[in-house]
Amino acid sequence: MFKKKFKKSKPSLLKSFYYAFQGIKVNILTERNLAIHFLVMLLVIVCGFVFKISVTEWLICILLFGFVITLELMNTAIETAIDICMPEINPKAKLAKDTSAGAVLVVAIVAVVIGIIIFGPKILDLIIK
């Protein structure tokens, strides 16, 4: 009548962090778009030091790094889960995958616009001088 519940043992906190970093590492190595986002992030960090951006501008950049990379990771997770559950072509699966990719695109465009607002005047000052 009552089923005995067996609990799966949870991984230790260190193991959980290890798995999370493995997920990021594998995605950087296998997902072209995530690798591009990381390269752009490194370029922005270098530019931030070169142009001596303010603390507020750093905070905005760091938040945008987090948003873009998080959404890219979520997009990959969604697409992978859909591919496992729905290996055949399905219009609703396509819509879910396209919508997930669209979310990444929106945040990436917003990040570029904000990057132009932060770095544009500094680059123009450098060119004009």
Q: Which residues are catalytic?
A: 72
> Any idea which residue has 């609990």 for tokens?
7
| Sign of the CA dihedral running 90, 78, 75, 96 | positive
Maximum alpha-carbon separation in the chain: 82
End-to-end CA distance of the chain: 82
Nearest alpha carbon to residue 108 among 78, 79, 75, 80 = 75
Separation CA 118–CA 129 (nearest Å): 18
Q: Which two tokens stand for residue 101?
A: 């990719």
Separation CA 93–CA 88 (nearest Å): 9
